[in-house]
Chains A and B, each alone.
Chain A
Amino acid sequence: MHTSDNNLDLAPVSLDQFDRNSGNLLERLLFNNRLAIIVICVLVTIGLGWQASQLRLNANYEKTIPTSHPYIANFLEHRDELRGLGNAVRIAVENPKGSLYDATYMDTLRQISDEVFLLPGVDRAGMKSLWTPNVRWIGVTEEGLEGGPVIPDGYDGSADSLAQLEANVARSGEIGQLVALDGKATIIYVPLLSQLPDGTTLDYEVLSKQLEDIRAKYEAAGQVSIHVTGFAKIMGDLIHGLYEVLTFFVISILIVTTIVYLYTRCVISTKLVVTSSLIAVVWQLGLISALGYNLDPYSMLVPFLVFAIGMSHGAQKMNGIMQDIGRGAHKYVAARYTFRRLFMAGLTALLADAVGFAVLLVIDIRVIQELAIAASLGVGVLIFTNLILLPILLSYTGVSAKAAKRSLRKEKSEARAPLWNFLDLFTRRGPAMVAIGLAVVIAGAGYMGSKQLKIGDLDPGAPELRQDSAYNRDVAFMTEHFGASSDVFAVMVETAGNGGCANYEALRRVDALEWQLRQLPGVVSTNSLAMLNRQVLTGLNEGNPKWFELIKNQSMLNFVTASAPRGLYNDACDLLTLYVYLADHKADTLTAVVNKVEEFAAANNTADIQFKLAAGSAGIEAATNIVVKDAWRDMLFMVYGAVVLLCFITFRSWRAVIVAILPLMLTSVLAEALMVMLGMGVKVATLPVIALGVGIGVDYALYILSVTLSRMEQGESLSDAYQHALAFTGKVVLMTGLTLAAGVSTWVFSIIKFQADMGVLLAFMFLWNMVGAMVLLPALGHFLLQGKVRKPGAGTPQVVVNNPAAAAPVVATRKAAAAQ
């Protein structure tokens, strides 16, 4: 971590004066074989580029499930038996102008139904619509039951046949299922095969496209409006979103490039920095492809970060080279000097970032682990592309002479910049107290706000997508017109022993639990084999509702079970599923259900009958919430632990550690308050944000504090030291904050909601950490560091330089000072 100052005292020389055998082994190895290095990098880029082109987009969020949680283990154990949770798409066809008993509407519905029927991947036997023969009406007669398809024989669209259809629908029991409560829409229920007949797996992207084509085609005719929901549609929309995010990457590149160009004003070198950062992205993508990972909505965000971090490091390299060239050094010499000065420091900073990301590995959610690996790899790759390849490339191209001159000139005037003067105020007692007092007030308010922070997703509909997305509007339509809840919590009931799933002892327990659950405020309705028994008993008694009971008659229960749909129990009849339909998937709702079931299970489980949590979208979310809640705390401890350790190793002073950490903690508290303000809960997607925000956020403090401390060790006052630190690193800190925030800010426009959430939070943390470092750091320094910095003793290094930003200007200014 410690680099001796003398290393950096390098006189600008021309090429013929330069000793090619100076510098360490690595430098000589690299710079005396520049062409070979470039060729190797080109070859690696081609190889990994080819690998990267093999990357597949994958929106499957099953990886977001915490697989080791016992609830999820139960779910995975029974997954294939939970048919009622099967994969299906529901297509609601609405007649916006009237009722469904309309000849034109029915004709359109038939065309849509026929077209959907032919789509590959549709389980045609299970598909249901008014036009499929499996949708029937049943009536009770004196002799028993009669029935038929709801579409009457000889249907011709006449008023008579429509009236007959309406009567049949009323007797079909499909109102609220296939037919909207208000009679204005019907559903085409489309169960999907997981495997196509040719053995390939169903491609959600293709299916989603086909459904969109059907929607567009029939909505264009103006007769109907169409609403589609289902897992496959979410997948399709997410993949569509991923493509869109790819275009955001281009925008991010443009923004970040612009910022770097404004900083350097040198086209050649800006191009080189962009190129090397892009090469890093290509390598990173190639590597994750080689490791067999796909690009998912989480790992997709890594290239943005890698690119932005690469750009800020690259800009620093460029800055160093520019200044050396400005002072008259040959471009080759400038590149080597810069490499010599900055390599170790840059390496340290990047490794620190990588360690910060690696902390995420301990969270037992696969998508976060893959994100951690991808991000760590990406940062690791930057060591090669931006710390090695970039200086080598710059040694060939150099920088524009005008920009080089400009950088020197600007630097001299920078020490007097008004912003820096303003920030210097905070090293004094009054303003420092104001700043700290303000920070305490903000922190207090933020803390009060953050106490409202909820776990889990808070908005209705599919949480992956925005609330106003087309998909979630369709979900809202389904909820409103069909009373269908999209939040299903499934309890699995294992029934061993005699009678298995039809056993009265099992069913009466399910029945009792169902009734208990229905007393909870968030529970809309429930369904189970016990409920079916009540309904069928009513049906068997000519529809008389007085028979609505689970009767203690085993042969009747067996009879009903035999004809029950399989979703309520499995083939072996040793597993019952109790479906709980919820009003929302807020954490409170889920927790209430989980607690009630756990309490019931503890009191009523027997050797033969075991209630097990949890399946269904809401059940999985409940388990995820539990894991996320624990991980959120662990995450904070570990990230801060890592950062504290890093700071302590760097500064060897607990006072400096406090000065560096407190602003970060303020940002963390405010980020939580911001989440509350934006209605965002703690979820899988916000976990990595905290690690990235804190891990990268500490860089600012490292930049500024290391220079300040080294100056103070040399006997300068806090104010002088801080002024110097700003002059040396202020612009770099500003640029880093802006490039990072700009890099992630485009995510805000993603249709994938959690990506947008991550973008907002990260941008906030990057920027606020920057402000915190520039304002609070001197203020805290006033109370903690003033007069406390020990003078360098024997054996300790004179200057602590551990990052590129600090190192470059330190040298530059000393040169400038010597020249005066």
Chain B
Amino acid sequence: MVAKALNNKRSLLVCGLLLAAGIAVATVAEPPKAGLAEADQRPALASAQGQHAAVLDVAAAGKRLVAVGERGLIMLSDDQGQSWKQAQVPVSVSLTSVSFVDDQFGWAAGHYGMVLATRDGGQHWEVQLDGSRAARLVLDDVRSRADGSSDQRLLRAVGNAQRLVEDGPDKPFLDIYFSDRQNGLVVGAYGLIFATTDGGISWKPLNSQIDNPGERHLYSIASADHQLWLAGEEGLLFRADQQQPLQFERLSTPYDGSFFTVSAAAGRVVVAGLRGNAFESTDNGTNWETLSVPSEASIIASEVGSQGELLLVNQAGQLLSANAGQYDLQNLGNQPVMAPSSMVRLADGGLLLGSLQGLSRINSAALKGAATASAAGH
């Protein structure tokens, strides 16, 4: 609708100019044509080449695998990634993240501030939140807080939120996580963070409740043992406990570069990111051990297994693993996958990797050294 309104405005302007120039509009004006809808209003194109398109996240929905990626691409596999079929998606924006709570209910997030939801195991998707609405939610939120206040910080926040609305939907969500069919969290660029307690019908901005004054990107959400972890730029790491859900406490970390991924399981939390920096805590984030990583390539995805074993994938496409209690990661020496983005475990212990080049599978034999199945971290 926004795009249409803009187009109408423009054609009015054109008409005005033509009239001013004394040209007969009737003979010059083109008949209105549908034109190209914006990416956030254009259904995703059916793609025959989906498996070779850019895949930005992969997840499991029960026994089904779901991959999301560029231009609204969502693909489903019921045979552990051997064959894929494309879902119906109402938008063509790049989808950066997908999360399922069971084999039916799932959510996907992406660019243009987009959140999509499915209730049929990923076959059909509907828009729950878009960037324009998200920006207005932030503005309403800070306005209600700043109402009558003279706090400079709040007034500045109102100004920032106004700019957010004016910018339009140019900011992506980077990760989404739902703990059950009601409760979910989505984070993104410039510190965007929204929570829902009604399955995504309404979203509440948390920006003003989180200690991220620099509005740094939030890249990754992890959950374990009733705790939520958030990681982002400039060494940002937050934790929220079950007792005070969505009350994120900022933790200090030994690194001030970007964290792209955080994973937690079996009492072990791992954050990793730029230039192969990776750290582990076994005491809820109070103390951190530096993991020794044999490559300077940035780490893009991570997984802590149920036994505490660790698997990382870096941008050089290398798989790095360590058993529980080990701090030296070993290169598994797999054939590197170009520009990987994400990974998920297969039922047989193998791995499905998403990358800018598409999907690839690594069988379990190639992963010896890394322990077996568990949920993948984001």
- Residues on A lying within 8 angstroms of B by beta carbon are 139-142, 167, 170, 175, 508-509, 512, 515-516, 518-519, 521, 534, 541-553, 556, 603-604, 606-607
20 A-B pairs within 8 Å (CB atoms) are namely A140-B275, A141-B257, A142-B256, A508-B38, A512-B39, A512-B42, A518-B53, A519-B47, A544-B298, A544-B300, A546-B341, A547-B172, A548-B356, A549-B111, A549-B172, A552-B39, A553-B167, A603-B36, A604-B36, A607-B30
B298–A545 contact, CB under 8 A? Answer: no
B70 contacts which chain A residues (CB < 8 A)?
A: 515, 534, 548-549
CB proximity of B338 to chain A, nearest CB, Å: 8
Instruction: Select one of B30, B38, B48, B356 contacting A521, CB under 8 A.
Output: B48
B45–A548 contact, CB under 8 A? Answer: no
- Residues on B lying within 8 angstroms of A by beta carbon are 14, 30, 33-36, 38-39, 42, 45-49, 53-54, 56, 70-71, 92-94, 96-97, 110-112, 167-170, 172, 174, 217, 219, 256-258, 260, 274-275, 296-298, 300, 315-316, 338-341, 355-356
Q: How far is the CA of A362 from the CA of B364 in the complex (A)?
A: 67
B46–A603 contact, CB under 8 A? Answer: no
Q: Contacts A142-B274, A553-B167 hold; do A512 and B38 have CB atoms under 8 A apart?
A: no
Instruction: Select one of A508, A542, A549 contacting B274, CB under 8 A.
Output: A542
Chain B residue nearest to A553 (CB atoms) is: B170
Q: How far is the CA of A521 from the CA of B341 in the complex (A)?
A: 26
Instruction: Select one of A140, A175, A519, A552 contacting B48, CB under 8 A.
Output: A519
A546–B35 contact, CB under 8 A? Answer: no
Minimum-distance CB pairs A-B, first 6: A549-B94, A142-B257, A553-B170, A545-B341, A546-B96, A549-B111
Instruction: Select one of B36, B217, B341 contacting A512, CB under 8 A.
Output: B36
Q: How far is the CA of A158 from the CA of B4 in the complex (A)?
A: 63
CB proximity of A589 to chain B, nearest CB, Å: 15
CB proximity of A5 to chain B, nearest CB, Å: 73
Chain A residue nearest to B169 (CB atoms) is: A552
CB proximity of B176 to chain A, nearest CB, Å: 12
CB proximity of B23 to chain A, nearest CB, Å: 13
CB proximity of A544 to chain B, nearest CB, Å: 6
Chain A residue nearest to B37 (CB atoms) is: A512
B275–A142 contact, CB under 8 A? Answer: yes
11 further contact pairs, Cβ within 8 A, besides A142-B257, A519-B49: A139-B296, A142-B274, A167-B296, A170-B297, A509-B36, A518-B49, A542-B298, A545-B56, A545-B340, A546-B96, A549-B110
B170–A140 contact, CB under 8 A? Answer: no
Q: How far is the CA of A550 from the CA of B39 in the complex (A)?
A: 9
A170 contacts which chain B residues (CB < 8 A)?
A: 297, 316
Chain B residue nearest to A550 (CB atoms) is: B39
Q: Contacts A140-B274, A545-B341, A551-B111 hold; do A603 and B33 have CB atoms under 8 A apart?
A: yes
A515–B45 contact, CB under 8 A? Answer: yes
Q: How far is the CA of A251 from the CA of B96 in the complex (A)?
A: 68
Q: How far is the CA of A551 from the CA of B46 in the complex (A)?
A: 22
A550 contacts which chain B residues (CB < 8 A)?
A: 39
Chain A residue nearest to B340 (CB atoms) is: A545
CB proximity of B141 to chain A, nearest CB, Å: 23
CB proximity of A664 to chain B, nearest CB, Å: 46
Q: How far is the CA of A551 from the CA of B113 in the complex (A)?
A: 11
Q: How far is the CA of A542 from the CA of B297 in the complex (A)?
A: 11
Q: How far is the CA of A552 from the CA of B2 in the complex (A)?
A: 13
CB proximity of A119 to chain B, nearest CB, Å: 34
CB proximity of A796 to chain B, nearest CB, Å: 65
B258–A542 contact, CB under 8 A? Answer: yes
Q: How far is the CA of A142 from the CA of B216 in the complex (A)?
A: 14
B356–A541 contact, CB under 8 A? Answer: no
B298–A543 contact, CB under 8 A? Answer: yes
A556 contacts which chain B residues (CB < 8 A)?
A: 170
A542 contacts which chain B residues (CB < 8 A)?
A: 258, 260, 274, 298
Question: Which of A139, A512, A542, A556 gathers the greatest number of chain B CB atoms within 10 Å?
Answer: A542
B275–A545 contact, CB under 8 A? Answer: no
A552–B168 contact, CB under 8 A? Answer: yes
Q: How far is the CA of A175 from the CA of B172 in the complex (A)?
A: 29
B112 contacts which chain A residues (CB < 8 A)?
A: 552
A508 contacts which chain B residues (CB < 8 A)?
A: 36, 38-39
Instruction: Select one of B110, B170, B274, B356 contacting A552, CB under 8 A.
Output: B170
Q: How far is the CA of A545 from the CA of B111 in the complex (A)?
A: 12
CB proximity of B92 to chain A, nearest CB, Å: 8
Chain B residue nearest to A606 (CB atoms) is: B35
CB proximity of A359 to chain B, nearest CB, Å: 43
A553 contacts which chain B residues (CB < 8 A)?
A: 167, 170
Chain A residue nearest to B256 (CB atoms) is: A142
Q: How far is the CA of A140 from the CA of B92 in the complex (A)?
A: 29
Q: Contacts A140-B274, A515-B71 hold; do A603 and B38 have CB atoms under 8 A apart?
A: no
Chain B residue nearest to A544 (CB atoms) is: B260
B56–A548 contact, CB under 8 A? Answer: yes
Q: How far is the CA of A556 from the CA of B296 in the complex (A)?
A: 28
CB proximity of A672 to chain B, nearest CB, Å: 33
B169 contacts which chain A residues (CB < 8 A)?
A: 552
Q: How far is the CA of A550 from the CA of B169 in the complex (A)?
A: 12
A545 contacts which chain B residues (CB < 8 A)?
A: 54, 56, 300, 339-341, 355-356
A516 contacts which chain B residues (CB < 8 A)?
A: 45
Q: How far is the CA of A374 from the CA of B13 in the complex (A)?
A: 59
Q: How far is the CA of A272 from the CA of B354 in the complex (A)?
A: 78
B47 contacts which chain A residues (CB < 8 A)?
A: 515, 518-519
Q: How far is the CA of A548 from the CA of B315 in the complex (A)?
A: 14
Chain B residue nearest to A546 (CB atoms) is: B96
CB proximity of A167 to chain B, nearest CB, Å: 8
CB proximity of A381 to chain B, nearest CB, Å: 58
CB proximity of A101 to chain B, nearest CB, Å: 15
A512 contacts which chain B residues (CB < 8 A)?
A: 36, 39, 42, 92
Q: How far is the CA of A631 from the CA of B217 in the complex (A)?
A: 61
CB proximity of A699 to chain B, nearest CB, Å: 54
Chain A residue nearest to B39 (CB atoms) is: A508
Q: How far is the CA of A544 from the CA of B96 in the complex (A)?
A: 11
CB proximity of A35 to chain B, nearest CB, Å: 77
B339 contacts which chain A residues (CB < 8 A)?
A: 545
Chain A residue nearest to B42 (CB atoms) is: A512
B338 contacts which chain A residues (CB < 8 A)?
A: 175
B300 contacts which chain A residues (CB < 8 A)?
A: 544-545
Chain A residue nearest to B356 (CB atoms) is: A545
A534 contacts which chain B residues (CB < 8 A)?
A: 70
Chain A residue nearest to B14 (CB atoms) is: A607
CB proximity of B21 to chain A, nearest CB, Å: 14
A519–B172 contact, CB under 8 A? Answer: no
B49–A140 contact, CB under 8 A? Answer: no
A142 contacts which chain B residues (CB < 8 A)?
A: 256-257, 274-275
Q: How far is the CA of A669 from the CA of B25 in the complex (A)?
A: 56
Q: How far is the CA of A205 from the CA of B316 in the complex (A)?
A: 43
Q: How far is the CA of A544 from the CA of B170 in the complex (A)?
A: 17
Chain B residue nearest to A554 (CB atoms) is: B170
Q: How far is the CA of A31 from the CA of B170 in the complex (A)?
A: 92
CB proximity of B11 to chain A, nearest CB, Å: 10
A175 contacts which chain B residues (CB < 8 A)?
A: 338
CB proximity of A564 to chain B, nearest CB, Å: 19
A519–B341 contact, CB under 8 A? Answer: no
CB proximity of B237 to chain A, nearest CB, Å: 16
Chain A residue nearest to B73 (CB atoms) is: A515
B36 contacts which chain A residues (CB < 8 A)?
A: 508-509, 512, 603-604
Chain B residue nearest to A512 (CB atoms) is: B36
Question: Which of A534, A548, A553 gathers the greatest number of chain B CB atoms within 10 Å?
Answer: A548
Chain B residue nearest to A521 (CB atoms) is: B48
Chain B residue nearest to A516 (CB atoms) is: B45
Q: Contacts A142-B274, A142-B275, A553-B170 hold; do A541 and B217 have CB atoms under 8 A apart?
A: yes
B49 contacts which chain A residues (CB < 8 A)?
A: 518-519
CB proximity of B172 to chain A, nearest CB, Å: 7
Q: Contacts A515-B71, A548-B94 hold; do A604 and B174 have CB atoms under 8 A apart?
A: no
B35–A603 contact, CB under 8 A? Answer: yes
B38 contacts which chain A residues (CB < 8 A)?
A: 508, 552
A140–B316 contact, CB under 8 A? Answer: no
Q: How far is the CA of A707 from the CA of B110 in the complex (A)?
A: 85
